[in-house]
Amino acid sequence: MKNNFYLMHLIAAFLLLSVNGNAQNSKEQTTNVTQQTKSIFSTWQSKEVLQFHLKTDMKKFVKGKKEEEKQTALLKYVDKNGQEKKHTVKIRARGNMRKDICSFPPIKLYYPEDFLDSMGLNKRYNDYKLVLSCQSKSTYQDYVLKEFLIYKLYNLLTDLSYQVQLIQLTIEDSENKRKTIESYGFIIENNEEMADRLGGTLIKPKILSPRAIIPEHYDRMALFQYMIGNTDWYMYNKHNMKILKREGDSYPIIIPYDFDYSGIINAGYAVPHEKLPIEYVTERFFLGMCRAKGVYTPSLQLFRDKKAAILAACENFDLLDEKARKNTIKYLDDFFDILEDDKKTRRNIIEHCDQHIKID
C-alpha cells in the first residue's frame, strides 16, 4: 500500500513537471544581468555592512504583528556609493514562529511600485525579507549573524542560492515612546529577482517528489543541510524551499532558505520535529535520498574541495566573537571528519538515506 501511494505521487509529479528535454542538459546557468532591469537590492549589495535606519510607530507594529498589518515607515541608508537615501516604505511583521518569540519580529519591506518604476528600477522586485535579532540578548545577535553566514556558505557551493546583504539596523520609534533598537540583520533577495537571475520561473506544484528534482542539485542541497545540521525542511510540502523551473532542464531545482533551526546555530528556541529520532538540533541526521553506487561521489567531492574556503569564510567572519567562530568551525570540522572517513561517510550519509518523515 505504501509503495502504491508513493508511486502515485511520483507519477503525478512527473506529469506535472516534466517537459521536453534531457536531464543531462542541466548545466547551471544564469541570465546575463545586463538584460535585466536594475533592482533596489542591487543598489544595496556590497561587501561592507549597509547602515539601515527605519523610523515607524513601533508599538503599532508589534501590536499588529499577528494580523500582519502593513504600516508606513521612513527608511534611510547610505548606499555603497556613499550617497544618503530616504524612502517612504511599508513594513509588516513576518515569520510564523518568530512572531511568538520575538519582542520585535522579522520584517517584510515593501517599496511602492511606481517609485521603483520612476527610478528606473524593476517594480516587480518590490518586497524584501529583513531578518534581525528579535531579542536584545547577545546570543540572539549571534543567531542572526550565523544565519547570514550560512547563506554565504551556500553561495560558495552554488549560484543556485539566495543572495543576502548584511546590514546594521536601527529602528526608531516615530512616537518617541519606545527605546531605539539596534541590531545586525540581513536582507534576502526578492523571490522573483532570484528566479530571473538564475534564468528560471518559480513554480508551485501541489505534489513534488525528490525524484522529480535534478539529482546533483538535490544531493548538494541535502548534504549542505546535513553539514549545517538542519532538518527543518521537507520536500513534499516544499517547506523552507522554493522550486525553480528553467528552460532546457527536464526537472526543476530547489533553492533552500530559512536556516535558523540549524545545529550550527543552536538557537535556544530550536527543536527537532517530534517525529525525528533525535533530541537536539545539534545532532546531524541525513535526509537525502538513496542513490546507486557512485552517484554521491561528485557531490561529496565538491564539499571536500570547498572545505578550505568554507572554514576560511567562518574564520574571517569577525563580526562573530572568537568563541562563536571556534564553535562554528568545530561543528563544521565534525562534518568534514565524516567526509574524510569512508566508513563514516557510508554509515552517516550514503546508507543513511530515505529517512524523510511525513510532515502534515
pLDDT band at 359 (very low <50, low <70, confident <90, very high): low
Comparing C-alpha atoms, which of 222, 288, 230 is closest to residue 263? Answer: 230
Instruction: Please compute the mean of the pLDDT values over residues 5-25 and round it to a whole number.
Output: 40
pLDDT digits (tens, 9 = 90+) for 217-251: 999 999 999 999 999 999 888 899 999 999 988 89
pLDDT single digits (tens) 268-312: 999 999 999 999 999 999 999 999 999 999 999 999 999 999 999
Please report, rounded to a whole number, the percentage of residues in the chain having pLDDT higher than 70.
87
What does the block give as the cell for 212?
A: 522529480
Instruction: Please report which helix (H) or strand (E) contains residue 141, including its range.
Output: helix 138-157
Helices marked H in the chain:
2-17, 40-44, 58-63, 98-101, 113-118, 138-157, 191-197, 215-228, 297-305, 307-315, 322-339, 342-345
Query: Cα–Cα distance between 86 and 77 in angstroms, integer?
Result: 7
What is the reported pLDDT for 12?
41
Residue 198 CA, distance from chain mean position: 15
Report which of 274, 321, 1, 342 is spatially closest to residue 145, judged by C-alpha positions: 321
Positive or negative, the CA dihedral 239, 134, 161, 302 is negative
For the chain, give every domain's residue range: 38-194, 199-350
- Reported residue count of the chain is 360
Residue of 346, 344, 314 lying closest to 330 (CA atoms): 314
Interatomic CA distance for residues 16 and 36, integer angstroms: 29
